[in-house]
Chains A and B, each alone.
Chain A
Amino acid sequence: MWEFLIPLFAATVQSGTPLIYATLGEIMTERGGVLNLGVEGIMSISALVAFWISFTTGSPWLGFLGAGLAGMVFASLHAFVCISCLGNQVVSGLALTIFGVGLTHYLGVPYVGLHAPGFTPFDFPLLSQIPVLGDVFFKHDMLVYLSFVVPFLFWFFFKRTSLGLHVVATGEMPAAAAAAGLRPIALRYFAVVSGGFLIGLGGAYLSLAYTHLWTNGLSGGRGWIAVALVIFAFWRPGRAVAGAYLFGGVMAFQLRLQAMGTHLPSSLLLMLPYILTILVLILSACFGRRIEAPAALGTNIEPEG
């Protein structure tokens, strides 16, 4: 039994990690009141940037940071269109996805099939000695360990720092935030751009740790899963982590069930994550939990004339 479960959970942690980064990034953005549907595009372009930097400089850490910066640049494009130009957030986000994926394919062609130095798994000192838990959580690469820390920082940022609270205020009611003397525009820019940084890190994980070689289409729809996970997580970092592991886990589980030789139709197993999403939404509605979306999510701060 453990022989089956431990690799399953370890695979869950690995496939959940890019989702954690991307989902937290999207939560950051949406807490500021801006919907960013460009996650898929940002992830794929930053995966390419991470690969390219790591390939040319030989330093995966530089690639990791570069991917974050690329995410910031792309997110600031979205921020400029939505916040400064008052463009439609849905349209801008979709455009960003199409643009990002297309640009990645165009720029990525010369690198297809090449190897770049990336993050390799190592046993975390001491902690990897713990039975079961050590095998599941502490035999991965550096970016996975980092993803254990980020949600706590994230939680601390939103609950315990004034900047985090200001961002939440902007997402709830920009008018009130402005009346309180805050600068909602700057705060929204901050939310979108720093969210883009986190999404970019998710992209970097795909090309630096998940695989070490470049192929087009690396993001493979994970950006969209992240967007769905935000709702699944009710905009909370803890639930986001749980959701990311749940989605990653169900995917890993169905592949493993097939590998074990069970005779369940694989199409049915592939539906599992989506059935779970619907179930969670229905259950949370039944038990009276409101979906606590930021009140001003998706609406621009428009000057009333």
Chain B
Amino acid sequence: MGCWYTVCCTDCPCFRRIKNKKHVHIFLSIRDCRVVKGLALNRMLGYWKLIKIANGEVPMKKLLKLFTVSAACMALMFSLYACGEAPQEKKAEEPAKIDEAVAPTEEAKTVKAGFVYVSPVGDAGYSYAHDLGRKTVDGLDFVTSAFVESVPEGADSERVIRNMARKGFDIIFTTSFGYMDPTIKVAKEFPDTKFMHCSGFKKAENVNNYFGRIYQSRYLTGLVAGAMTKSNKLGYVAAFPIPEVIRGINAFAVGVRQMNPDAEVRVVWTKTWYDPALEKDAAKSLLDAGCDVIAQHQDSPAPQEAAQEAGAYCIGYNSDMSSFAPKAHLTSAIWNWGPMYTKTVEAVRDGSWEGNQSLWWSMQDGVVDIAPMGPMVPEDVKNAVMAKRDELRNGNDICFVGPIKDQNGEIKIAAGEKATDEQLHDMMWFVEGVVGTVN
């Protein structure tokens, strides 16, 4: 039993004797020496200067303190939890109340649409694009909608989806790949609710999966980039070597080479969907290597910023990124979910909605598009690109038309043929003109 630090009790400069072993000297400095009882409590509450507490009071106080602390902790956690859930609760609750109020005949006419997003809607990225689609749907007079943002993939998403289904939503859009299994699972429990899962491949009686042919947009952006490059080197900051990304790079390169057969597309993998600083570094490394147009398959606008700082051009993704780099932004490959979301909820209203489908919507459906081209793009280029865009909008998929060679010069798509959906789905090779590896 001792005092603070190395000085033992007898050495304590206050010279106070200890009669009871439960009393312990504590000194913080020579001037401040105290005799303290009940050291266990002292340690537990973690206070330095706990001054005499009478024996009888100890357990009561201890309990009281513990209770207060734990209550405070729980209150804090609860309030944080409530904060996180707030948007959903508020918006999801409202239609539920309306639902009880209106007569059943009228109810049949309204469609309640729920949306689950993986990231916040304010980031100008992937979820933002989906939320623009939701807003379009919400503007229809027969639809009420609600969304939950920043839902982690996995067990949490299952809870959120089930919660929505239980609240009587007619159709639920789950917009991230990782929601696939939770969606299928919840869909089994709620056979009357319809589900739309984005970017996956599983389907069921009441579940469709859907995605958009963004490569068509990328092909058009490639045409613009190919016309604008002077160094004949274009940079592409890409996230992960998966077919979805590789397809986009290939479509971009095909577009570039149609405008400029000598150009090459250099690819840098970041191995992350979202790391603004790393994405900017990757863009800079491409710019240093002589690239004068930067395209991206990343969710942050950092590569755009890098291009503008270096006086080069850039091509955005997800939504119109011109606000991030007004001087450099040529165009963006953008998602436009509004038209197809509208068709989907109309189908739900009319009872013509069918499950068990894999939908891959194209530019003809209006799901993918390009942002307005910047003022630096010459008129003739604009016209040429818009002509190709019209072809795509008319349903003629001109992106991958043979002969298309891979990096080794082998013909992958024979002359005159178009790539099949299967070829597109499994695309794990680069077309000629791309500099980089797929691993």
Contacts and interface: CB of A to CB of B under 8 A. Distances in A.
Given A112-B122, A211-B280, A305 B40 contact: yes
A259 B271 contact: no
B29 interface: yes
Interface in A201-215: 206, 210-213, 215
Given A84-B46, A178-B4, A215-B301, A113 B276 contact: no
How many interface residues does chain B have, given as a range?
Answer: 35 or more
Contact of A303 (B39, B264, B278, B302): B39
A84 B271 contact: no
Given A109-B120, A305-B40, A220 B277 contact: yes
B5 A113 contact: no
Given A251-B281, A259-B266, A265-B439, A215 B276 contact: yes
Contacts of A266: 268-269, 271, 437, 439
Contacts of B4: 178, 303-304
A267 B439 contact: yes
Contacts of A15: 277, 281
Interface string B187-204: 000000000000000000
A113 B43 contact: no
A112 B120 CA distance: 10
A269 to B, nearest CB: 9
A149 B284 CA distance: 26
Contacts, number: 145
Contact of A112 (B43, B124, B264): B124
B220 interface: no
Contacts of B300: 215, 217
| Chain B contact residues, majority secondary structure | mixed
Contacts of B301: 113, 213, 215
Interface string A140-156: 00000000000000000
B122 A256 contact: no
Contacts of B83: 106
Nearest to A113: B124
A251 B435 contact: no
A270 B120 contact: no
Interface stretch (B104-112, B168-176, B286-294, B383-391): B286-294
A290 interface: no
A30 B46 CA distance: 21
Contact of B278 (A86, A178, A251): A251
22 contacts: A7-B284, A11-B281, A11-B284, A87-B46, A110-B122, A113-B323, A206-B277, A211-B305, A212-B305, A215-B300, A215-B301, A215-B302, A216-B123, A218-B276, A218-B277, A220-B276, A255-B270, A259-B235, A261-B266, A261-B436, A266-B269, A305-B42
* 3 A-B pairs with the lowest CB-CB distances in the bound complex, closest first: A85-B46, A305-B39, A261-B435
